[in-house]
Structures are given as structure tokens and as C-alpha cells.
Amino acid sequence: MMCTQKADLQHFDYHDLPDGNVQGNLQKIKQCSTEKQLLSLCSELGDWISDCGVPGIFTAKIKDIPTVFTQVVKHYIYFRTASVIQQFIEGMNTCGNLWHQVERNWIAFLPIFTSTSREMSLPSFKGLYKISWSPQGSNQREREEETMFGWEMFLIAIQEKATDVTFKDLLVFWTGMHSVPCLGFPGEPVIEFYEQEGPSRIPYASTCSLSLFLPRGVEEEEMNALLTRAIKESSGFGRV
């Protein structure tokens, strides 16, 4: 079993590690194939490799490089996080042995502990929010319905990739989140309306209340332009 694990780690794709610096260091170890390169590796990364639990790097030979690579990978995958993971498990089990329940029912808990989100579609996005309408038959309601027609066309344009805005961009602008939380939002996102006064005000959002504000009485073309501008010019704000 140990031999199989060692062989597997020798072919581990270091690009799977999230830290770019670690990726670069592992690449240098993996590509080390001559005595000159080994001397350079020890000079540049010897202390770092030693801190990863491989003090033998300073006396290593070329034939030992695959083992050094394996040990450094094992350090980052297993040993570096082992105590933290154990503390997490112990903490979970203080709540009625919750972690044992997770292990026994791991499929049910999979969406909570792993990223299982998929690219959003038009139906899934429309199922996220509600609309705060004015009373039926009022002048405001008629203008809100005009706005919502433009909104629907904008969503269809996103679905058909007829715009460079994505559902993810729209979700970030509206809620500050890149994806729908696994347990859902704390409240239902809502579309509110406002009156345009003076120079056109672009749509805006409150990520705290999960409210998106759209102007009443805006036609399809203008709605597309206003929403695109609002989303593009707010890039990076309020992201969680």
C-alpha cells in the first residue's frame, strides 16, 4: 500500500495545489535532473524543503529527487493540515458526534462540504428572487411590467450569450456572492423599483438586504444598456 501511494505521489500534478509559490517550488524539484541543478536547488530551496520535513535534501543524490518530491507533496497534502483537520473533527463531534453523522451520510452532506455548484441557467436564476410589485391596475404597475419585459430580455441575452455579462456577474452585483450558498440565502432576493428623476440613474443593489433596484418604465434596449453599465462599472465591489 505504501509503495502504491509513493508511486502515485511521484506523478502528482502540483498544479492542483492552490499556492502558486509551492507550485513553482515543486516544479523546480521535479525538473531537477543533473548534479548542477541539484546544487542550485539546495542553494535556492534547501531550507524550504528541509522545513517541509525533508532535512536530507542537503545530502540527497539525483536518484533521491523523486522521493524528495513525494515527501514535499505529502507534507502539503497530509502532514501540514493533519492537526487542523483533527481539531476540526473533534470540534464537530462535540456537537452530538456530528462528524460521525457526516461520515455515515456523506452523500447528503456533500453539497455543504464541497463545491458542487454548476453554471447557472435561466430557469435556476429566475427561481432565486421575487418581485415587489405595485398594486395591480396602478400606473406604477404598468410601468413596472414594462421594465420587467426588458429585464426578461436581458436574462435571455445572458442565457444565449448575446452579452458579455453572465449570471454569475449579475449574482455578484446583486448579492455579493459568486454562487448560491449551499443552505440558500438568509432571505429571498427581491427586485424593487424606483422612479427616474433628472439624469438617468443606473440600476443599483443592496447586498445587505439582497435587493436589486430597477427603474420603472424602461424599454428593452435601454434596460440592457443600463444593467450592463451598472454591473461592469461595479466590478469587485461587495464580493463575498
**In a 10 Å sphere around its CB, with 0-12 CB exposed, 13-18 middle and 19+ buried, how is residue 198 labelled?**
exposed
d(CA 22, CA 28): 10
Residue 191: enclosing H or E segment and its boundaries? strand 190-194
Q: Could you tell me which residues are beta bridge partners of residue 190?
A: 130, 211
C-beta neighbour count of 40 within 10 angstroms = 13
Give the sign of the dihedral formed by CA 168, CA 170, CA 173, CA 177.
negative
Q: Which of 3, 52, 95, 208 is catalytic?
A: 208
Nine-digit cell string for 224: 440592457
Query: What SS3 class is residue 30?
Result: helix
Annotated catalytic residue 42: no
- Give dist(CA 77, CA 85) in Å, integer: 11
Are 31 and 44 in contact by the 8 Å Cβ rule? The answer is no
CB < 8 Å & 24+ apart, contacts of 182-188: 182/111, 182/112, 182/116, 183/112, 185/128, 185/210, 186/210, 188/128, 188/129, 188/130
* Residues marked as catalytic: 208
